[in-house]
Chain A
Amino acid sequence: MWSWETFIDAFPFVIEGINITLGLTVTSYLLALAAGFIWLVLESTPSRIINFFFHWIREFIRSTPPLVQIFFLYFAWPEVPYVGMTFTPFIAAMLALGIHFSTYISEVYRSGIESVDQGQWEASKALNLSTKDTWMRIVLPQALPPTIPMLGNYLIILFKEVPLAATIGVVGILSLARTYGSNTWAYLEPITIVAILFLLLSYPSALLIRWLEKKMNNRFEKKETKVKVSK
């Protein structure tokens, strides 16, 4: 039976975990954003063998469930010879989710870069821009803004995968809800609270992303109207 009393009692207990939940989301997302670039570099070296090797590894990581990866890093990694070491639950979950999502994010970056017209590269070369300036001032400023909505989507998906970390004992809101349940035998309210918290955080983010998407689609027209108005 639903009890508002239990709800009110459970709320402060469960919300204690929000820092961990959000902290894990943000750190693993930042890792994914950075590692996404690293894949891109590893897969576009002058050596086709190296590119293929890393492409295959990324494909492998992408095709295995994040939960398996979390278990692997937490339980199995310490047993790996030479490089093996023990991670705290938080670090293991952060690495696993960060690396898992980096494999998608790298794909997003790639699609952004490929959407830049070949003529932009050629004009940069004809003007003798350095490789660095071509990337930093011509290609990336055009490639990245259109990927922002996609990157935002992956942030929300990642956020919703974070409760997986509860399985290795990261004490986020879901773990606390379960603890509350096992202490009081009331699961309905604490777990509902978790669901509501997720909804409260992801729905507005989804709206924000939809808005960004619209803005990105019209970004050059925006500039146009701005200029017309100023005249």
Chain B
Amino acid sequence: MEPVVQYKEVQKSFGDTHVLKGINLDIMPSEKIAIIGPSGSGKTTIIRLLMTLAEPTGGDILVDGKNLWKMEVNGKTKTANEKHLGAVRDDIGMVFQHFNLFPHKTILENCTLPLTSVQKMDKTEAEALAKQMLDRVGLGDKFEAYPANLSGGQKQRVAMARALVMKPKIMLFDEVTSALDPELVGEVLEVIRDLAAHEDMAMVLVTHEMEFALEIADRVLFLDEGVIAESGPADDVINKSENPRLQEFLKRFRSNGQS
């Protein structure tokens, strides 16, 4: 089977700060990957590069074998233009830490907008699909509400429904529970659990929920200072690794009582 995404020696610097120092990573279709690591290690940056929210400063990212950030024009390699990026972006969805719902649109409109605007689907069809997704995340009774009247957990579930309607091949989750009150984390994880079990899209989760990573991830990556320091089956990385940096990270984590 071919990987759906390949990172090849991917680098990213902001000025003099080298955030990613050569990332190599293959993501298989339907694979569930969790990325853990200390703050500032570059976890968010890794997935932002794939979502095309930031441009790598070195290396290549391939989606379905196609180079995401580069394109061939008359035999010459050039930086990808908006059209090229747009074609790849359709296969990728993302859920953000701070939800980023559109506050001036209802819950339903938040979910139909990408369908009517990007896929040019007609309104009735789009609404049917959006309602189906909102039902699935447990918000079938909130279609006409605005984001402002939802709880954080509900907002994040809408954000997931909004990303899901596009039927991406890869879904990216950036610490989607860390902005939530503790009692709302469960309902969001429940939705992700359901997706992980029943959807065959690839999922990449940046997370601080170690138990959750153990439970749903096929593979866990430990990112440290811009490199993938450990990679392997969840149990091996979280419970059996000898890597001192990883152990220190996990220890600090457990003593914070966050695991």
User: Is A50 interfacial (CB-CB < 8 Å)?
Assistant: no
Interface size in chain B (residues, C-beta < 8 A): 30
Query: What residue of chain B has the Cβ atom nearest to residue A141's Cβ?
Result: B104
Known pairs A126-B93, A224-B149, A227-B145; A120 contacts B86 (CB<8 A): no
User: Is B148 interfacial (CB-CB < 8 Å)?
Assistant: yes
Query: What residue of chain B has the Cβ atom nearest to residue A223's Cβ?
Result: B146
Query: What residue of chain B has the Cβ atom nearest to residue A138's Cβ?
Result: B102
Q: Is the CB of A126 within 8 A of B51?
A: yes
Binds A, one of B25-33, B111-119, B127-135, B181-189: B111-119
Q: How many A-B residue pairs have CB under 8 A?
A: 71
Q: How many whole Å from B178's CB to the nearest CB in chain A?
A: 15
Bound complex: CA A177 to CA B32 (Å):
80
Bound complex: CA A168 to CA B175 (Å):
64
State which of A119, A125, A137, A142 has its C-beta within 8 Å of the C-beta of B51. Answer: A125
Q: Number of contact residues on A: which range applies? A: 20 to 34
State which of A127, A220, A221, A227 has its C-beta within 8 Å of the C-beta of B114. Answer: A127
Q: Is the CB of B82 within 8 A of A131?
A: yes
State which of B51, B93, B114 has its C-beta within 8 Å of the C-beta of A129. Answer: B114
Q: Inside 8 A of B163's CB, which chain A residues have their CB?
A: 126-127
State which of A127, A220, A221, A230 has its C-beta within 8 Å of the C-beta of B166. Answer: A127
B137-161: contact bitstring with A at CB < 8 Å (1 yes, 0 no)?
0000000111011000000000000
User: Is A48 interfacial (CB-CB < 8 Å)?
Assistant: no
Q: Is the CB of B100 within 8 A of A227?
A: no
Q: How many whole Å from A218's CB to the nearest CB in chain B?
A: 11
Query: What residue of chain A has the Cβ atom nearest to residue B97's Cβ?
Result: A119
Query: What residue of chain A has the Cβ atom nearest to residue B146's Cβ?
Result: A223
Bound complex: CA A141 to CA B105 (Å):
10
Q: Which of A126, A129, A130, A228 has the most CB of B within 10 A?
A: A126
User: Is B207 interfacial (CB-CB < 8 Å)?
Assistant: no
User: Which residues of B (12-69) have their CB < 8 Å from a CB of A?
Assistant: 51-53
State which of B52, B145, B166 has its C-beta within 8 Å of the C-beta of A125. Answer: B52
Bound complex: CA A83 to CA B172 (Å):
56
Bound complex: CA A129 to CA B99 (Å):
17
User: Which residues of A (98-139) have their CB < 8 Å from a CB of B?
Assistant: 117, 119-120, 122-123, 125-131, 133, 137-138
Chain B residues in contact with chain A, CB under 8 A?
51-53, 82, 86, 89-90, 92-94, 96, 98-104, 113-114, 117-118, 144-146, 148-149, 162-163, 166
